[in-house]
Chains A and B, each alone.
Chain A
């Protein structure tokens, strides 16, 4: 007579289907492709000297200006249709941000405040704070208002929703900035347009990510009511910091040894800013989610 113990097998783990679109994946994909296309375009035009027919080049420049929007539609908007619980109101957020940028933000900064006219000869700290308190705050505040009052509290179900709506707003705003640049500078070639697209993407994505963290924490965490204003301040500061630094790299500065410009550094700088911003904000999101998980498991979170 033999006796065999029943095998101790753990019950099969149920597959939990994540019902929402994974925002970080889409954002990183869009960013890498934008940086890749703009970087290659810049190198090809600056160092190889590609010459395309004028009509083709005009079309290419327009595609470059619309590149962030095209990639957002492909990787974020279409992806929403393939998940069980899609986010609603993303199109409205993007559209209204673009309209607000075209109707308020860009005219207010470029025509009324004109920071480039009176900050160009100031010292570096004055330029940083000048751009922060004018272009930076206008841009970030408009995007915040659209996200806050268009997507609103009902749309925010999980922390990542805040990122999704803030990035939609950023894409709308940067698309308008890109189009304004292309139409106001018809002589600008694809290399210069790709530099500008990268620049606008870096300040908008970095600013919106920081702002999204403030919104998410205010909605889902137990934080001070001053956190959201602080993130607005930080987002505007990033704008104020990046605009003069990038201009210093992209434009020739007059030295005793002659005029020198470092547009390639400008590409690296804009790319670095956006990747550092993604990395930092992703880290902060992971930290608070981990803290909440630990608190929930220890029973201290009610």
Chain B
């Protein structure tokens, strides 16, 4: 049975016009909901508070939290990344009253040369975190611990330390990511710093 279009080439009927319009509107609304859903998922944060150390912060919800180490009091890693896992870490070290931020930075550099392969400090500068003066250290090293079971090339990691001395202890906030994606990942660290209270 052949059912010819009753109006080929003629103006569209009201139903066809409204139907087309509704379809376009629906598609745009759905895409908008999808983008909103993306913003909610990627921007979702979890709260963390440690009264012993005196820090309160928000971190990306999907990142892996680890506070059970002697090297740091707080660490989160983006486990969805292939290769080196982007890391934000907070360490606290007791210091004497005469110790400055620069002393801590130098001490860190000396110890890391022994533990991190091809560790190099790129630059050391001053800055502020909120209203607190901080020392900012940029560095790079080669990471080979991607997977002990795989034969793989080492990863060039870029890191940034923010050092400050508060209440007789040095607080070291570190951000590390693959050098290729460091700039792309940096906004996450900025958001983290904006919410950080200590």
B35 within 8 A of A: yes
Total A-B Cβ pairs within 8 A: 103
Interface size of B by Cβ–Cβ distance < 8 Å?
Answer: 33
* Interface-central residue, B16, B19, B62, B80, by most chain A CB under 10 Å: B19
- Return the chain A residue nearest B14 by Cβ: A225
A13 within 8 A of B: no
Q: Is B16's CB under 8 angstroms from A219's CB?
A: yes
Q: Is B23's CB under 8 angstroms from A144's CB?
A: yes
**Taking chain B's interface residues, is the majority helix, strand, or loop, or is none over half, making it mixed?**
helix
B27 within 8 A of A: yes
A73 within 8 A of B: no
Contact digits for B1-37, partner A, Cβ 8 Å, 1 yes 0 no? 1111101111010111011101111110011011101
Q: Is A134's CB under 8 angstroms from B22's CB?
A: no
B41 within 8 A of A: yes
Distance between B181 CB and nearest chain A CB, rounded to angstroms: 12
Contact digits for B61-94, partner A, Cβ 8 Å, 1 yes 0 no? 0100000000000000000100000000000000
For the complex of A and B, list the 6 residue pairs with the smallest distance between their C-beta atoms, beginning with the closest: A133-B34, A225-B18, A141-B27, A225-B19, A228-B19, A134-B34
Interface residues of B (CB under 8 A from A): 1-5, 7-10, 12, 14-16, 18-20, 22-27, 30-31, 33-35, 37-38, 41-42, 62, 80
Given contacts A133-B33, A219-B16, A228-B23, 17 further A-B contacts (CB under 8 A): A18-B2, A118-B42, A126-B37, A130-B37, A133-B31, A141-B27, A156-B8, A159-B3, A218-B19, A223-B15, A225-B14, A225-B19, A228-B19, A229-B22, A292-B1, A292-B3, A293-B1
